[in-house]
Structure 1
């Protein structure tokens, strides 16, 4: 029986993200420019979460559904990070059950970032996140 690694799983999620984006008529290609498109997609998910009084009247996605989308879109942004900045997928040494990318001695957490973007909205912009990472790891 084949044992799948965290990297295998996250690469598969990134391919799922590309397929989901196509259903939204968005082309994702692991480019730096695609981070803007990804942020627009994540805004759609954010808008689908009931806020204020709406929370009492509309169900919205479950936490499990949001976690699943965080893995899918986290796989995409993570694979983009790896292609541009290096690193590898790992199970986090710092947080139990967290999926991370290890670049040098640093760990970053793409699925957690996506979860925050979906929940918090534009304040957790992934386009800006990518640019900051690029600046930090290229200097």
Structure 2
């Protein structure tokens, strides 16, 4: 049994209200499989114990959290998943289901306790957008409001900004309603409509 497959303790009610709930929209049908049903089942499973949210503490990273090292951070996450759980992540949108599962297992210790791994997962999410949908990593421009401790976003071919790093932390802090798989599908679908 790997690090990412632990059994959560007995659930207790969440201490704080959830932030930025993302209900399924019309973008959902483009996901292969029945992710919408899986998310609904996970949401109905009861409230897990949630650890402390990321405090903004200093992180121990192999590389700075900068655009030029984004792929290296993503690969660190992919390597950890392969080494611990024997699952190979292939940078496909479908692989984000596995990322959701890994991040879901971190709810109990909370994003602050495993911030380095959550950040690496966020880089993996962003790299899926970069490799599959033509996004690129950029420092947050002054005209884009930033509500995160990391000054790094991805921008799509049509100029749409996304924050996969913060989304990974939200997945741990808020649960399946902040699915990273859904996030990527929704962002790409919205950009395609524009």
1:30–1:79 contact (8 Å) kept in structure 2: yes
Which moved further from structure 2: 87-96 or 121-130?
A: 87-96
Q: CA RMSD in A?
A: 2.1
Superposition deviation, residue 71 in structure 1: 2.0
Superposition deviation, residue 82 in structure 1: 1.0
1:68 maps onto 2:116 in alignment: yes
Name stretches of at least 5 consecutive residues in structure 2 with no aligned partner. 1-63
Q: How many residues align?
A: 123
Structure 1 pair 14–90 and aligned structure 2 pair: CA distance change class (3 A): same
1:111 maps onto 2:165 in alignment: yes
Give 2:107's aligned residue. 46
Q: Which has the higher helix share?
A: 1
| TM-score, normalised relative to structure 1 | 0.78
Match of 2:125 among 63, 77, 83: 77
Superposition deviation, residue 106 in structure 1: 2.0
| TM-score, normalised relative to structure 2 | 0.57
Dislocated runs of 4+, deviation >3 Å:
none
Structure 1 pair 66–92 and aligned structure 2 pair: CA distance change class (3 A): farther
Superposition deviation, residue 66 in structure 1: 3.9
Q: Secondary structure at the match of 1:31?
A: coil
**What CA distance in whole angstroms lies between the structure 2 residues aligned with 1:18 and 1:27?**
7
Name stretches of at least 5 consecutive residues in structure 1 with no aligned partner. 50-60
Give 2:188's aligned residue. 134
Q: Secondary structure at the match of 2:106?
A: helix
**What CA distance in whole angstroms lies between the structure 2 residues aligned with 1:137 and 1:83?**
16
Give 1:52's aligned residue. none
